[in-house]
């Protein structure tokens, strides 16, 4: 590559899984704060070429991202390979190569269509893309602009479509380099592979008899209201929001809910088991404990029962939960903060660490709280931690009956908690 080839344009063709109801051919150009030192205003204007109109002449020494919407008639399957084929066809059409780009779709109400987005941005020098995966940052610049365009479109029309996210973009993005003047394409087609895991997969196999039995057990626990089953459900919702939908704020909120369900459920069962062991049902005392704000409960109620370090000040699972899960959730809920993908991932990882810590503590104290340990860890979890003792756990009644007894007791406690708070 010669020095005169730089700065140049990176042209990406991005296929979307969900149709985007914007007019075919609509263009959006965004001027960014970043400046390009060697770019002269005259280099931005390319005469007699319709493709150059998306590179505004007035963008003096500023980075830009320009988007063009392509709406293509839907044909056949919508699996990733078909969407990728459409993206390649658009790129071939742009470069003047023979390509089967089907005529634009009509209005969304009239026929089905698929959306492909042509995204253009400057790259100043070969050093900007010399390192491995550096081109990902260039594409990310385009994706962020595209996501913001969709956010604005949804607000203007109050359109009931899902927010576009990283995980809803087909993970193979073809691209070409283009000179500024004359507007000719350079080299061959390249690919950027997105690192999300939301890819088309075959339908799952039918459940085996063993899996079906486990499914029925989970159904029974869900209907009863087992705290750990409800926790696992929220943890799964967090994973789906992060990995499939790219809804990082929702993932953080679900992680925060899951953590509170876990912590509240564990303490509730510990108090219930203490009262059961003593042969009493002191709803008022339990309500006093469980109506205390969660952070205060963590400082005072867990260590005497489970041991270990429950400090919110010292680095550890509880401190990380307080900052990376609860604290981040508060920023999302109260300030409308939009967490990044990495923040969402850290939040989910912190949740898993918290779960591991709580389960380890329960295993250590399973002799004092066998019902709680069995309900949350299960026999397999206790065996993995070498804490299973048939003499200790076989005397416990059927687990569903134990869980029903706890949920019934907890309903009475919750009613008392409500009275205290309203008073």
pTM, two decimals, is 0.78
Give the DSSP H/E element, type plus range, for residue 71. Answer: strand 62-73
Kindly compute the dihedral angle of the four CA atoms of residues 265, 258, 352, 403, in this order, to the nearest 10 degrees. Answer: 30
349: helix, coil or strand? helix
Cβ atoms 355, 238 nearer than 8 A: no
Neighbour-count burial for 3-40, b at 16+ CB within 10 Å, e otherwise = eeebbbbbbbbbbbbbbbbbebeeebbbebeeebeebe
Cβ atoms 318, 300 nearer than 8 A: no
- Separation CA 251–CA 348 (nearest Å): 8
CA–chain centroid gap for 122, Å, is 29
Residue written as token pair 């926790």: 231
The low-confidence residues of the chain, meaning pLDDT below 50, are 1, 41-59, 105-110
pLDDT of residue 1: 46
Q: What is the DSSP code string of 183-205?
A: --EEEEEEEEE--------PPPP
Give the DSSP H/E element, type plus range, for residue 60. Answer: none
Cβ atoms 304, 271 nearer than 8 A: no
Segments in 158-247 forming alpha helices (H): 209-224, 227-243
Cβ atoms 252, 332 nearer than 8 A: yes
Kindly compute the dihedral angle of the four CA atoms of residues 37, 185, 11, 134, in this order, to the nearest 10 degrees. Answer: -60
pLDDT of residue 390: 78
Question: Sheet holding 62-73: strands in order across?
Answer: 27-35, 62-73, 113-123, 8-15, 172-178, 185-193
């Amino acid at each position: 590559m010669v020095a005169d080839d730089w700065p140049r344009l990176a042209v990406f063709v991005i296929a979307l899984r969900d149709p985007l109801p914007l007019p075919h051919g609509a263009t959006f150009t965004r001027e960014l704060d970043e400046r390009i030192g060697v770019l002269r205003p005259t280099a931005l204007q390319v005469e007699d070429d319709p493709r150059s109109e998306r590179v505004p002449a007035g963008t003096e020494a500023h980075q830009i991202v320009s988007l063009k919407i392509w709406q293509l008639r839907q044909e056949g399957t919508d699996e990733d390979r078909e969407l990728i084929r459409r993206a390649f066809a658009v790129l071939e059409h742009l470069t003047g190569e023979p390509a089967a780009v089907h005529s634009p779709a009509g209005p969304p109400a009239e026929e089905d269509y698929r959306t492909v987005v042509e995204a253009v941005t400057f790259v100043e020098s070969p050093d900007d893309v010399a390192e491995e995966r550096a081109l990902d940052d260039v594409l990310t610049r385009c994706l962020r602009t595209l996501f913001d365009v969709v956010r604005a479109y949804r607000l203007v029309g109050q359109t009931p479509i899902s927010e576009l996210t990283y995980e809803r973009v087909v993970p193979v993005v073809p691209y070409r380099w283009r000179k500024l003047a004359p507007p000719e394409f350079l080299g061959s087609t390249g690919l950027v592979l997105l690192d999300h895991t939301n890819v088309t997969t075959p339908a799952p196999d039918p459940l085996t008899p063993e899996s079906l039995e486990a499914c029925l057990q989970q159904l029974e626990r869900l209907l009863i209201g087992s705290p750990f089953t409800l926790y696992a459900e929220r943890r799964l919702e967090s994973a789906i929001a992060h990995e499939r939908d790219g809804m990082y704020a929702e993932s953080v909120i679900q992680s925060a809910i899951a953590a509170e369900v876990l912590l509240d459920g564990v303490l509730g069962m510990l108090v219930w088991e203490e009262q059961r062991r003593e042969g009493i049902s002191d709803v008022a005392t339990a309500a006093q404990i469980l109506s205390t704000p969660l952070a205060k409960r963590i400082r005072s109620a867990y260590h005497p029962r489970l041991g270990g370090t429950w400090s919110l000040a010292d680095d550890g699972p509880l401190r990380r939960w307080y900052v990376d899960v609860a604290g981040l959730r508060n920023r999302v809920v109260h300030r409308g903060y939009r967490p990044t993908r990495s923040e969402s991932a850290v939040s989910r990882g912190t949740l898993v660490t918290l779960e591991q810590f709580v389960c380890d503590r329960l295993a250590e104290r399973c002799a004092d709280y066998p019902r709680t340990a069995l309900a949350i860890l299960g026999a397999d979890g206790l065996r993995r931690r070498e804490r299973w003792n048939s003499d200790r756990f076989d005397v416990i009644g059927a687990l569903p009956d134990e869980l029903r007894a706890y949920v019934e007791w907890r309903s009475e406690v919750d009613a008392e908690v409500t009275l205290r708070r309203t008073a």
